[in-house]
Copies of this chain bind each other. A is one copy, B any other.
């Protein structure tokens, strides 16, 4: 999105939420690409598009943005791969996702709802909160 404004003291909270949203999509794509690479051996734009519920054109444009962000590489008609940076992100995202799901389940949320909600929630969980989640889970089993 656009550049951030002066960003006064009061605004930081919201400003952070805002800028996190472009990151969220990158995270979803990277996570999915990692899954596909592991599970299928390759990540094709069409598969990515189907799994994300978008048109293949949209997926291809998003992949272009991933490349610009240094997270992925792709050569025409050859599938998508993750850079080191992309792989590191995928790993972080995956751990975080699992942690969020586990916490939700520990709180009594059904597995299906936990998976569904985690998909949105996970992008907004800070490191601090993540640590608290981990400790909470450890303390309770």
State whether the Cβ of A38 lies closer than 8 Å to any Cβ in chain B.
Answer: no
Residues of B within 8 A of A120 (CB): 16-17, 20, 123-124
Q: Chain A: interface residue count, which band?
A: 35 or more
- A137 and chain B: residue at smallest CB distance: B107
- A54 and chain B: residue at smallest CB distance: B5
State whether the Cβ of A12 lies closer than 8 Å to any Cβ in chain B.
Answer: yes
Residues of B within 8 A of A108 (CB): 132, 135-136
State whether the Cβ of A42 lies closer than 8 Å to any Cβ in chain B.
Answer: no
Copies of this polypeptide in the complex = 2
- A32 and chain B: residue at smallest CB distance: B14
Residues of B within 8 A of A124 (CB): 117, 119-121, 124
Residues of B within 8 A of A51 (CB): 10-11, 14
Query: In the complex, are the beta carbons of A129 and B115 less than 8 A apart?
Result: no
How far apart are the CA atoms of A124 and B108 in the complex, in Å? Answer: 17
Contact pick for A117, options B12, B103, B129, CB 8 Å: B129
The CB with the most chain B CB atoms within 10 A, among A51, A119, A129, A133, is that of: A129
State whether the Cβ of A88 lies closer than 8 Å to any Cβ in chain B.
Answer: no
Question: Which chain A residues (1-27) contact chain B, with CB distance < 8 Å?
Answer: 4-5, 7-8, 10-18, 20-21
